[in-house]
Amino acid sequence: MREISIETPTLIVDEARVRRNIAFMAEKARRQGVRLRPHFKTHQSAAIGDWFRQAGVEAITVSSVQMAQYFARHGWRDITIAFPFNVRQSAAINALAQQVRLGILVESPEALAAVRQKLHADLDLWFEIDDGSGRSGLDWQGASNASISALLDAVGDCPNLHPRGLLTHAGRIYRARGAAEIRQVYQETVERMQQARRGLALELSVGDTPGCTLADDLGAVDEIRPGNFVFYDVQQLMLGVCRADQIALAVACPVVAKYPSRQEVVIYGGAVHLSKDTVLVDGQAVYGLAANGPAALPCDAGWGDPLPGASVARLTQEHGVLRLPSPWIDQIKIGDLLYVLPAHSCLAVSALGAGGVLTLDGQLLPTLHSPA
Amino acid sequence: MREISIETPTLIVDEARVRRNIAFMAEKARRQGVRLRPHFKTHQSAAIGDWFRQAGVEAITVSSVQMAQYFARHGWRDITIAFPFNVRQSAAINALAQQVRLGILVESPEALAAVRQKLHADLDLWFEIDDGSGRSGLDWQGASNASISALLDAVGDCPNLHPRGLLTHAGRIYRARGAAEIRQVYQETVERMQQARRGLALELSVGDTPGCTLADDLGAVDEIRPGNFVFYDVQQLMLGVCRADQIALAVACPVVAKYPSRQEVVIYGGAVHLSKDTVLVDGQAVYGLAANGPAALPCDAGWGDPLPGASVARLTQEHGVLRLPSPWIDQIKIGDLLYVLPAHSCLAVSALGAGGVLTLDGQLLPTLHSPA
């Protein structure tokens, strides 16, 4: 295979790690009799989707209609759009629902009235529950059971609408400190969902990477929808959800300037490549950690462990300023690559996905945003 | 013209405001005898570039080789890549420099050695100075004059390398509070650049939107390189650099859920559309402000002033949570559009530019990242 020289910030995946991450979650779900409907917003790649399929996955989650269309074109036939129904995309949703089993999220009488008026294709309805995270969904407490019953009544005899279950995303789990608290939030969320459902014949769908990775018992739910675990990232590392050697995505960034007196280098890798999402490392908000890795692909070995003390401290549009203490800064040259493990891998993929994703053995995997 | 229905988060520009912003800066530079070399990373659009050309602009700044290639294809013949020379892109730089007058940034003997070794096309060299902002460039103090002389010596008799001047970006100006302090930082930067240059026959290039907008006297410099002023944004508004009615870019976002008890709505408009850049408004970090605007284009009038108290408080990948106090939340319906004025317009354009930019009269302007 021809050597690939990396010229600009480039997404690199370690396929072996990705396949191990997928196998872990698929096996865990299978053992506990829970459907794994992974969230594909993290990788947005049909090729990586195939690796899930090879692990037995048949149903997926996406976060936009466009992403649902893309994965439908690549053979996926059971897709949930885990985002509140956007009435302005009714035509596209109707068209797509004629090709695949499509699930959408509804949470209010107003949204359901729009669904009844605009959507005529067969659709699974998931009623979104807010488990206390404060983003979207019916509040799990108090009135929620009555609210769900009212929504079910409002669906009424609509022949194309099929109420399927209650769905939540426990975003609040990212405020947990440590594994024990993550397990507790996960369990609490499952209990809150059961309470919201009481007496109703509906499925339960939960799922986030911290809870699904760490919970020993996934609980009495029908499906889980984690996404980030396919790559993990520094946020998951700092939460104690993964080890560094499970992080399967890095952004290879050329070094363009060195400042030994500041113990900093400037990399080609800025806000438009890494996103401006941060994670606290040793009390400081950083955009990622950095490791050494191959200067060109294909390569047998991937990147190493994060270099101690090396982190992306500041970002502007195209520049990254990376703290790089001695002895690392003394060993690096202008033109070398550093492998940045991003704070948040989902957003790095969104930022850079138009260029595809390179595997260590030099295959370019297309994504939703790369030219076909 | 056919009515354009906005279905997903969409960049909208107010052409009249853009043209006024361009005219203001072009006229100011002309009056003071300073070359305006605007930074095109903000809009990344050949069509908006034409509006600059109509205002007499002939030289431009970009932040990447790819952006330089794009604007060269669209007729620009004098381009500075305001980013430290990336040796891994030498082939592309050589090719481009044969078509246009191309300037690159150098700041160290190590980088200059790479330039001498890899670049054989005619190139303008700008030596980058760090005016105290702490990102990239030679420190302006002390040794800098000697360092510049050493770089000039190292260029030596290289026939294709043409030392042109000293260049800086005063990023520290974004830490200023209020107009007086901005004017002071701008003036200080000009003085620091003059001190770095003393005795050398080199041009001076400075420029950032706050300083170039507010400084009454642009000072003894040869060119200015502001970029953001073409659109401005909430960061500039909060710095006192622009008025709300000068902000020329908004992201139209569908409302997908309403929570009157929280005084919040969820919009389709998340981190992948607005970026995760924030700005402090009333002491709270927000991702943008929100205004009412047209439900479809073309439309005679644009968006209104920001709604009091309305701001994007939280973002996940595709969701935006927008504080929307009464009476605004009582008047809005699911499916309506809100116009988000982003914290940082450059990053919103980078995030959403693949879809082009819509004008209020319904033209779709292509960008670097949109299909040709």
Question: What's A151's domain CATH number?
Answer: 3.20.20.10
Residue B1 has pLDDT above 70, yes or no: no
- Interface check B92 vs A, CB under 8 A: yes
Q: Which residues of B touch A89 (CB under 8 A)?
A: 7-8
Q: Averaged over B321-346, what is the pLDDT?
A: 97
Look up residue B358 and give its two tokens: 């819509």
Minimal C-alpha gap between B77 and chain A (Å): 23
Distance (Å) from the alpha carbon of B31 to chain A's nearest alpha carbon: 30
Percentage helix, strand, coil for chain A under 3-state DSSP, each rounded to 5 = 35, 25, 40
Distance from CA of B5 to the nearest CA of A (A): 8
Does B16 fall in a domain? no
Q: Are residues A132 and A190 in the same domain?
A: yes
Looking at the domain assignment, is residue B127 inside a domain? yes
Tokens read off for A93:
């949703």
- Whether residues B218 and B265 fall in one domain: no
Same domain, A179 and A277: no
Instruction: Return the amino acid letter for A165.
Output: G
- For residues A91 and A188, membership in a common domain is answered with yes
Residue B313 lies in a domain: yes
Q: Residue ranges of the alpha helices (H) in B156-292? A: 178-197, 209-214, 234-239, 271-274
Could you tell me if residue A24 is inside a domain? no
Interface of B with A in 130-169 (CB under 8 A): 134-136
Helix (H) or strand (E) holding A284: strand A284-286
How many structural domains is chain B composed of? Answer: 2
For B289, the domain range is 4-9+242-365
Which residues in chain A are contacts of B321 at CB distance < 8 A? 134-135
A268 and A218 together in one domain: no
- Residue B51 · residue B19 · CB < 8 Å: yes
Look at residues B166, B198, B226 and tell me which one is the last residue of a structural domain: B226
Q: Which of 256-295 (B) contact A at CB < 8 A?
A: 256-258, 262, 266, 268, 271-272, 275-277
Q: Are A249 and A342 in contact (CB under 8 A)?
A: yes
Tokens of A117: 């008026």
Q: What ipTM does this complex have?
A: 0.96
Look at B83 and A319 and tell me if their CB atoms are within 8 Å: yes
Per-residue pLDDT at B214: 98
| pLDDT for res B372 | 62
State how far residue B61 is from chain A, nearest Cα, in angstroms.
Answer: 13
Cα(A327)–Cα(A140) distance, integer angstroms = 53
Region of B349 (left: φ > 0; alpha: ψ -120 to 50; beta: rest) is alpha
Q: Which of B134, B258, B275 sits opposite A276 (nearest CB)?
A: B275
Q: What are the pLDDT digits (tens) for B246-289?
A: 999 999 999 999 999 999 999 999 999 999 999 999 999 999 99
Residue type, B93: I
Q: Which of A200, A226, A252 is the last residue of a domain?
A: A226
Cα(B81)–Cα(A75) distance, integer angstroms: 43
pLDDT in tens, B132-177: 999 999 999 877 788 999 999 999 989 999 999 999 999 999 999 9
Look up residue A22 and give its amino acid: I
Residues A255, A208 within the same domain: no
Contacts of B241 (CB under 8 A, 6+ apart): B179, B182, B209, B210, B213, B214, B232
- How far is the alpha carbon of B342 from chain A, nearest alpha carbon, in Å? 14
User: Considering the domain boundaries, does residue B21 fall inside one?
Assistant: no
Asked if the C-beta of A124 comes within 8 angstroms of chain B's C-beta atoms, the answer is no
Q: Which of A171, A254, A347 sits opposite B271 (nearest CB)?
A: A347
Q: Report the CATH number that the domain containing residue B301 is assigned in CATH.
A: 2.40.37.20
For residues A158 and A301, membership in a common domain is answered with no
Q: Which residues of chain A have pLDDT under 50?
A: none
The confidence score (pLDDT) of residue A144 equals: 76
Contact A83 B276 (CB under 8 A): no
Q: In this structure, is residue A33 part of a structural domain?
A: no
Count of other CB atoms within 10 angstroms of residue A301: 9
Whether residue A23 is contained in a domain is answered as no
Q: What gap in Å lies between CA B125 and CA B127, rounded to an integer?
A: 6
Task: Say yes or no: B92 and B212 in one domain.
Answer: yes
Helices in B198-344 by DSSP H: which ranges?
209-214, 234-239, 271-274, 328-331
Task: Collapse the DSSP code of A226 into the 3-class scheme (helix H, G, I; strand E, B; otherwise coil) and give the result.
Answer: coil
Same domain, yes or no: B208 and B254: no
pLDDT in tens, A197-239: 999 999 999 989 999 999 999 999 999 999 999 999 999 999 9
Domain's final residue, options B226, B257, B292? B226
| In a shared domain, residues A172 and A62 | yes
What is the per-residue pLDDT across B204-229, written as a single tens digit (0 to 9) for each?
Answer: 999 899 999 999 999 999 999 999 99
Do A311 and A211 reside in the same domain of the chain?
no
- The pLDDT value recorded for residue B2 is 78
> In terms of DSSP bridges, do strands B249-259 and B10-13 run parallel, antiparallel, or are they unpaired?
antiparallel
